[in-house]
Amino acid sequence: KRNVLIIGAGGVAQVVAHKCAQHNDILGNIHIASRTVEKCQQIVDSVREKGSLKTAGELQAHALDALDIEATKALIAETQSQLVINVGSPFINMSVLQACIETGAAYLDTAIHEDPGKICETPPWYANYEWKRRELCEENKVTAILGVGFDPGVVNAYAALGMDYFDSVSDIDIIDINAGDHGHYFATNFDPEINFREFTGRVWSWQNRQWVQNKMFEIKRTDDLPVVGKRTSYMTGHDELHSLSKNLDVPNIRFWMGFGDHYINVFTVLNSLGLLSEQPVTTAEGLEVVPLKVVKAVLPDPASLAPNYTGKTCIGDILKGKKDGKDKEIFIYNVADHKEAYEEVGSQGISYTAGVPPVAAAILIAQGVWDVQKMVNVEELDCKPFINLLNDIGLPTRIKDEEGDRPLSY
């Protein structure tokens, strides 16, 4: 399969475009489509400026409302794209997937579908939307790889591969620490509307083979992690739990995200005042406003953080279980650097960690290794070639266990 259509033109799309360009000898022509064609054009220009294209080939911007299935199908056909990397907002997943199912193009995304009107749906989340199209994908021989960013994505691969080091695994704790500094009083790394949704709803986790509910910032842990040091993280609801709980035989699977006290204080004030609400309010002047939209409007644009972002991210999976009758614990992880990411592709580290994996997956589909012609979550695939490829293209994996801390490859 060849020729890539990237949908979305945000921070993650910027990374995807640069990485696709670096591998266009395998991936073919590159097209970028979003509602605002100017944003796509900016990405095209930045790819050209950086000289990221490996060989001469098409690189074009398009205007597209991806909620319009017919228009999306037409663009897939016009650009002869056999690989669609959806890194638009999570509201468009189902329409893009449908367009892929109807045209036969492979589908990749990095986040679960969300309905703008619903916050925190019943688990497992994939069953509410994506998995309903699983049979259709199989019938139409469409390869659909769900959630192939970093988390979800690479951490699913870490979980699946980590299982091999044990006779049985009791706990998988996925830990996401951003030890970077953007220099602003307060900012979100992604679209605030999407970002805050992760924290305003209930926190679902998989414990004793059941879904358990908590509130955000209710449960925390502290770990001494490689490179980033001692860090506190909070149990957070996250996509990957909703497939790992089904696909791996592990009784406890939790997700933890690192937050500083300052972030929590600001978030708590905004939330307590009702400023994170999506429900419109009417001002004394009769103006109807959505508080969350106002907060978004006054916060820094997440893309603007990239040039001055410093520091590192550390994301990985702690697995606990038994090997030969003894307790065992391992940590499989990646460390990424905000500044290095900016220098290479013009984005901050978190967009980088999210954007490189779907390109690795697209390369594996193009090479036939992952062209499975059905819908899968990452842990259902052979994850070894994925880890090896990521090692080569910017996201090296390491493992820490009783034998020490070392690079991991297969």
Contacting positions for ligand NDP (CB under 6 A): 7-13, 34-36, 39, 64-67, 87-90, 92, 110-111, 149-153, 190-191, 194, 354
Pairing of strands 106-109, 168-178: unpaired
Q: Please, which residue, 188 or 245, has the CB nearer to ligand NDP?
A: 188
- What are the phi and psi torsion angles at 192 (to 5°)? -55, -35
Strand order across the 106-109 sheet: 59-63, 30-34, 4-7, 83-86, 106-109, 144-146, 375-377
CB 176 within 8 A of CB 398: no
Closer to ligand NDP by CB, 321 or 334: give it. Answer: 334
Residue among 67 and 264 whose Cβ is closer to ligand NDP: 67
CA distance 143 to 141: 7
Q: Which is nearer to ligand NDP, 47 or 166 (CB)?
A: 47
Cβ distance 160 to 389 under 8 Å? no
Q: Which residue, 253 or 321, has its beta carbon nearer to ligand NDP?
A: 253
Do you find a cis peptide bond into 124, omega within 30 degrees of 0? yes
Q: For the CB of residue 63, give the shortest distance to ligand NDP in the complex, in Å.
A: 9
| Contact between residue 163 and residue 169 where contact means Cβ atoms under 8 Å apart | yes
Q: CA 62, 63, 68, 72: dihedral to nearest 10 degrees?
A: 0
34 vs 236, which CB is nearer to ligand NDP?
34
Minimum CB separation of residue 283 from ligand NDP in Å reads 26
CA distances from 190 to 43, 167, 346 (A): 17, 39, 15
DSSP secondary structure letter of residue 302: G
Closest approach of ligand NDP to the CB of residue 231, in Å: 18
Question: Among all residues, whose Cβ is closest to ligand NDP?
Answer: 10
> What distance in Å separates the CA atoms of residue 31 and residue 221, rounded to the nearest whole number?
43
Compute the least distance from the CB of residue 359 to ligand NDP, in Å: 13
19: which residues sit within 8 A by CB, 6+ positions away?
Answer: 345, 355, 356, 359, 393, 394
Q: Indicate the residue among 190 and 206 with the shorter CB distance to ligand NDP.
A: 190
Q: Closest approach of Cβ 169 to ligand NDP, in Å? A: 22
Tell the smallest beta-carbon distance from residue 407 to ligand NDP (Å). 21
Nearest to 313 by CA among 253, 228, 193, 242: 228
User: Closest approach of Cβ 87 to ligand NDP, in Å?
Assistant: 4
